Amino acid sequence: MAGAEGSAGRQSELEPVVSLVDVLEEDEELENEACAVLGGSDSEKCSYSQGSVKRQALYACSTCTPEGEEPAGICLACSYECHGSHKLFELYTKRNFRCDCGNSKFKTLECKLLPDKAKVNSGNKYNDNFFGLYCICKRPYPDPEDEIPDEMIQCVVCEDWFHGRHLGAIPPESGDFQEMVCQACMKRCSFLWAYAAQLAVTKISTEDDGLVRNIDGIGDQEVIKAENGEHQDSTLKEDVPEQGKDDVQEVKAEQNSEPCASSSSESDLQTVFKNESLNAESKSGCRLQELKAKQFIKKDTATYWPLNWRSKLCTCQDCMKMYGDLDVLFLTDEYDTVLAYENKGKIAQATDRSDPLMDTLSSMNRVQQVELICEYNDLKTELKDYLKRFADEGTRLSSG
């Protein structure tokens, strides 16, 4: 018996102790993540009546539109009501999309929420994601045949998802960048390379023989050496406004006197200077033309961008026309970002979330409010004393 008790004691020591607070905090965290992913999408009403929604949670139904059929996307409410038992691909979010549920792409299914729909939504855009395939490797995610742990990152332009190892450049730490533009989209929107020289977040690099080589070994970048033989970032030197040169020299002096704690602080400093340059008015009135006059390099890689980088894009008449021709006008829309979409979901959650106790109190008169609060406090004290007995005795409440 003693041996059994000893064994049970050792087993209990190995079991992780999880408090009720831990459970509630984890539940709240999962709820917050879910609300961010859904972005405030309506779970009861089909979004079709809203037209092309700027951003919403989307799904593709493999049961109704398998590979080989025309691709189609459905809204959150239709995924519950019309496709509840079907095999679905979660697409996260796509821009400017209108729900396809029940239209001509669904041969036998009629939308239960809004059956009166056009045959097709000509404004919708589709890719292999609608058949559960992602990246240039055209593989599913998760991939049962891929044993390499890798993060999937969505391109902000084409909205496809890519393995980090298939982007031509090792991604920075996830907290160091906000958005990514894939290789193909950088090639199509080559004007972004002029901005990338100033804004893009890069991996730590090693210097040798006047070249900056990325750690992943992709692409060599030449930098100008100063006369004293030290490496000098010519772009940074040219970009600093005249009135800010003294400040730059002062900061550089501080850098030389104190060792840098991390590579990110140096990167942040350069970003500040470069942003000052981008905010300065150019003689031509076109920020892009000013940047193109400087030396920059194009590579066959993806690029990674910091928070609010889109606000640095030129919005002159010529550039806006170029964005329209390239079908990337959305880059100038601050509400197009996934971050804005997720924040919308969090705000909607905070608005909908209510405290039952406060709701009850607000419906009572003063006397009833005092009585309820007293009873609540008494219950809280009794529950605390009850649970304290278990803590004093060193025992646990059993879950079943």
Q: Tell me whether residue 147 is in a domain.
A: yes
For 66, the domain range is 25-131+334-353
3-state secondary structure of 221: strand
- Measured in residues, the chain has a length of 400
CA atoms within 13 A on the CB side of 222: 2
Total domains in the chain come to 3
Residues 62 and 119 in one domain: yes
Between the CA of residue 273 and those of 198, 233, 261, what are the distances in Å? Answer: 9, 12, 19
Q: Tell me whether residue 322 is in a domain.
A: no
Residues 73 and 163 in one domain: no
- The pLDDT tens digits for 16-35 are 665 655 666 676 666 667 67
Q: Which of 74, 59, 57 is nearest to 109 (CA)?
A: 74
Residues 89 and 103 in one domain: yes
Tokens of 120: 């097709």
Q: How confident is the model at residue 363 (pLDDT cuts 50, 70, 90)?
A: confident
Sign of CA dihedral 320, 324, 325, 331: positive
Backbone φ, ψ for residue 210 (5° rounding): 75, 10
d(CA 212, CA 393): 64
Q: Tell me whether residue 115 is in a domain.
A: yes
Residue bearing the bigger pLDDT, 13 or 299? 299
Residues 302 and 193 in one domain: yes
Q: Which of 65, 52, 64 is nearest to 125 (CA)?
A: 52
Domain harbouring 147, CATH code = 3.30.40.10
Residues 52 and 139 in one domain: no
Cα angle value 252/258/264 (rounded, 5°): 75
- The pLDDT tens digits for 365-389 are 777 777 777 787 888 788 887 777 7
d(CA 117, CA 111): 9
pLDDT at 388 (0 to 100): 74
Residue 97 is inside which H or E element, if any?
Answer: strand 88-97
Q: Tell me whether residue 220 is in a domain.
A: no
Share of the chain residues as helix, strand and coil, in percent rounded to the nearest 5:
45, 15, 40
Q: Tell me whether residue 227 is in a domain.
A: no
Residues 198 and 304 in one domain: yes
Q: Among the residues of 240-355, which ranges form H helices?
A: 245-257, 263-279, 287-292, 317-325, 338-352
pLDDT at 359 (0 to 100): 64
Q: Tell me whether residue 343 is in a domain.
A: yes
Residues 57 and 92 in one domain: yes
Q: How confident is the model at residue 47 (pLDDT cuts 50, 70, 90)?
A: very high
Q: Tell me whether residue 88 is in a domain.
A: yes
- Kindly report whether the global pTM for this prediction surpasses the value 0.85: no
Residues 114 and 58 in one domain: yes
Q: Tell me whether residue 127 is in a domain.
A: yes
Q: What one-character DSSP code corresponds to residue 212?
A: E
Residue type, 392: D
Residues 349 and 300 in one domain: no
Q: How large is the average pLDDT for residues 186-208?
A: 81
d(CA 61, CA 108): 13
Using a 10 angstrom Cβ sphere, with 0-12 exposed, 13-18 middle and 19 or more buried, the burial of residue 230 is exposed
Tokens of 337: 């970002």
Backbone φ, ψ for residue 93 (5° rounding): -145, 145
Residues 73 and 35 in one domain: yes
Residues 349 and 362 in one domain: no
Residues 371 and 384 in one domain: yes
Residue bearing the bigger pLDDT, 174 or 223? 174
